Structure 1
Amino acid sequence: MLEVSGLQAGYGLSQVLFDMHLKIEQGEVVSLIGRNGMGKTTTVKSIMGLLKPSAGSIRIHGKEMRGALPFRIAQAGLGLVPEGRRAFGSLSVKENLLATATRGGKWDLARIYKLFPRLEERQEQLSRTLSGGEQQMLVVARALMTNPQLLILDEATEGLAPVIRETIWNCLATLKAEGETILVIDKNLKEMARVVDRHHIIEKGRQVWQGTPEQLAATPELSHRYLGV
């Protein structure tokens, strides 16, 4: 579904990605994990067209998309839950959801409200008046309303209260059970083990290891060396 190879990218004179490789098949849930500053978010920004790579390849369903504009990437079937809460503050919850909605897919308001009942309760409320956790639920739901073929979540549970984090992880477990394709960046290995088929560890702009959560748990030296845990 998505194949990244030899990707190089950075900011000005500062190169962050040196030889990034990543492959996601339809129906897989995979992760990008690593210490802060290793290139995880830069990889996501490059994939989504928010940062122009200097070299390498980004293929979506076999079509080369490196350097394509973000709306073209979205049209190709990728949906992003970005790092930080990025709800449209001057719009209501319902307006946020409808703003990016794609017709004809399986995700509509009814399904979203079933997944996140709290959003239905607050559908007429301006999103800037929501709690941080509610805003994060909204941003996840808004990405689903694009009916993506690949959902990317960049630190979607960072800084949230435990009850909200549990809601997000339960949501991902539901999506996995329904066969959704997901790329998740997060620090919580225990929760990721519930949903992730395959981890990818990134170190200094390169993928240095990939394997199942069980394989990672059985090799604690990997977590100590690359994740600092």
Structure 2
Amino acid sequence: MLHAENLQSGYGAAQVLFGVNLDIQAHQVVSLLGRNGMGKTTTVRTLMGMLPLKGGSITFDGQPVGGQRPHRIAKLGFGLVPEGRRVFPSLSVYENLVATSRNDYGGSWTLDAVYELFPRLKERNSQSARTLSGGEQQMLAIGRALLTNPRLLILDEATEGLAPVIRQEIWSCLNRLKAEGQTILLIDKNLKEMHHLVDRHYIIEKGRIVWSGNSQELQEQPDLVTQYLGV
């Protein structure tokens, strides 16, 4: 589905990515792992067109998409749950959800489906997003992304800073999405929760992919985890 080859990108004159390669097949859950500052979010922003592609290529279903504007990439079926949630604070829960919703190619995600997934959002339907807890805002960010009916869902640190009970609710949601065949690119630090969820891991170090493999292979290499992930 998504193939990124030799990605080079950064911020102004500061290069951050030095040849990142990623391959995500339809219905796979793929993780991008690494310590802070190694290029994970930069990779996401480059895939989404939020940063310029300075080298390499990105294809989606065999068609080149590298260098396209973010709104065009989103229309192709990319759904993003950004780091820091980034909900619209002055809008209600309902307004946040419907602001970017789309169902023009028969997707299964509707407002009712999101409320069934996260009943707490239905309870707070008319509340301003700024009044929600951090966990509720994360649910809102995920629900908003799902309502675009994405073909590829990208989650950047979706469980960071949340209470354990909320984190577990998010992981349950991701396991359900995997069971339903949703293609996912996931950035997170919780290897235990990702073990049975993720089909393939990529580790990034200083803007380069230094290892890739499945969960079992990663579990069998504790030195690798210590060296590149610091856990």
TM range (shorter): over 0.9
Alignment match, 1:99: 99
1:49 aligned partner, one-letter code: G
- Structure 2 length normalisation: TM-score? 0.97
1:90 Cα deviation after fit: 1.1
1:12 aligned partner, one-letter code: G
Alignment match, 2:116: 114
Instruction: Write the mapping of 1:159-178 to structure 2, written as runs, cut at 5 A.
Output: 159-178=161-180
Q: Deviations over 1:200-228 (max 9, x none)?
A: 11111111111111111111111011111
Instruction: Write the mapping of 1:1-229 to structure 2, written as runs, cut at 5 A.
Output: 1-103=1-103, 104-229=106-231
CA distance in structure 1 between the partners assigned to 2:3 and 2:95 by the alignment: 34
SS in 2 for 1:56: strand
CA distance in structure 2 between the partners assigned to 1:85 and 1:10 by the alignment: 22
CA distance in structure 2 between the partners assigned to 1:13 and 1:112 by the alignment: 41
1:194 Cα deviation after fit: 2.9
CA distance in structure 2 between the partners assigned to 1:224 and 1:173 by the alignment: 26
1:122 aligned partner, one-letter code: R
SS in 1 for 2:177: helix
1:196 Cα deviation after fit: 0.6
SS in 2 for 1:27: coil
CA distance in structure 2 between the partners assigned to 1:8 and 1:109 by the alignment: 38
SS in 2 for 1:118: helix
SS in 2 for 1:125: coil
CA distance in structure 2 between the partners assigned to 1:105 and 1:31 by the alignment: 24
SS in 2 for 1:105: coil
Q: Deviations over 1:87-128 (max 9, x none)?
A: 111111111111111024200011111110100111111111
Where in structure 2 are there 5+ consecutive unaligned residues?
Answer: none
Across the aligned residues of Structure 1 and Structure 2, the Cα RMSD in angstroms comes to 0.8
CA distance in structure 2 between the partners assigned to 1:126 and 1:37 by the alignment: 33
CA distance in structure 1 between the partners assigned to 2:85 and 2:180 by the alignment: 26
CA distance in structure 1 between the partners assigned to 2:186 and 2:212 by the alignment: 14
1:169 Cα deviation after fit: 0.5
CA distance in structure 2 between the partners assigned to 1:126 and 1:98 by the alignment: 14
Where in structure 1 are there 5+ consecutive unaligned residues?
Answer: none
CA distance in structure 2 between the partners assigned to 1:173 and 1:208 by the alignment: 27
Q: How many residues align?
A: 229
CA distance in structure 2 between the partners assigned to 1:75 and 1:226 by the alignment: 35
1:171 Cα deviation after fit: 0.3
